[in-house]
Structure 1
Amino acid sequence: MSSVKVDKGFRLVIIGAGPTAFGMLHRIYSLIAEGIISKEDIQIIVLEKEDEVGGLARSVTDEKGFTWDLGVHVLGVSKYPEFEKVINSVVNKWNKVRRSAKADLAHLFKSDNSCSNYVPYPVQHSIPYFPPSIRQKCINELKDLQGLPVNCSNFAEYSANIFGNTLLDIFIRPYNRKSQETVYTSAANVVIGKESGITVFVSVWTVELEEMNAFWAWNRIPNIDLSSIELHCGRSRQELESDLRSSMACFR
């Protein structure tokens, strides 16, 4: 906004009083404080349909005393220093929760111990957990991709060029395209525990990976450090999980 000339009488309407609106207001008043724009030259009005500000960052308490978080309500580590600076200046005390997210790869492990079918998320960092043959195949593909120009016109090509076809086939495509869920019905003629499930497929993005562009993926999907992957491949699952617990990131 500092590159935009603000003439006297400039009027700005911000629709919605959520985090983005407050981020914009913070930036505007920072520019005023820096003398880049004059407070007298700009009029601002914020329109919010609710009785409270906050948007999806709000929490509301119902008549029974239960508090509902309207949005995700967690922050990870941001690569934007200004965002970190501002958010830390307005929140005095953080509730830190260790991130514990895992993906079900039972189709790879086929273990009777259900816990052994899960690997830490993001899956591309958990290649050392994979069965040996699949693990080596992923590593070979990643080595072949090293130094090659990344040419992609869609998300499927991006995934194949960055992570390799094996990882694309065993996780990225099925995860992003559809997830299988079993829905149980309470109908009188259906017995829970027998033929009680109706299998439905829920599309994550509602379109195939080939129909999605890849512009968003560069900053949203964690990349792979091949040397780190290879370093951890000689370790047992127990050792890998121990390392994970000591380095586990936190949500705030």
Structure 2
Amino acid sequence: MLNSMLQANSDPAVQALILIAEDEPEIADILSAYLTHAGMRSAHAPDGQRAIELHQSLRPDLVLLDVQMPRVDGWKVLTEIRHSSDTPVIMLTAMDQDIDKLMGLRIGADDYVVKPFNPAEVVARTQAVLRRSMPRGDRENQRVLRAAPFEIDLITHEATVQLGKQRHVLALTLTEFKLLTQLLRAPRRVFSRAELLAACLPEGDTLERTVDSHISKLRKKLEDLGVMGIPVGIRGVGYRLWSVE
């Protein structure tokens, strides 16, 4: 059962999408593992330019941002993020001078962690920043996602579909649950395969056609219940939950 895959948690960080902007793969992998264990999702940007691109396309709930990165450094990335959004940002850097901390905070960072760090501390700080940045009303709304006939409880990790007077609990894999959740957040928006891959699939899955396989299995389970044609495939682009017609 899905409930056994992720421990129930009342923390608003559950299922939050964290963008890890870090050029050292080992550090990124460790942070991703700790975030996953805490019930969060993650995407990885290996350089500053990619971090800007993924921030624009994925709209993460928080960014863990390294300062010293190739192509575009963390200060410039933070400036770009602040020009377009108020996404919480925690800086990760080996620079421990007070002037560097002040610079990050003045540009708009929400917190600052100096390397080497304890990954568990980074997770705790991430959860704390998310709690501070999310208004109470939004926290409550984040628990349950609804778009008829679907309802997803992010705390109990349960997905249901209401057909007439009968409510069915969907027996989904963790990846299928994540995909349905992502699509349900914006039912008419088309999500590219790359977006779904980064937001919903394990770090080891790197082929976009893997998304097609999981979507196909999700669609088959819905069809078995009588919910036909969902999710909708958009040729050459990706998927959305249902048609705009």
Does TM-score exceed 0.5, indicating one fold? no
TM value normalised by structure 2 = 0.26
TM value normalised by structure 1 = 0.25
Larger strand fraction of residues: 2
Q: Which has the larger radius of gyration?
A: 1
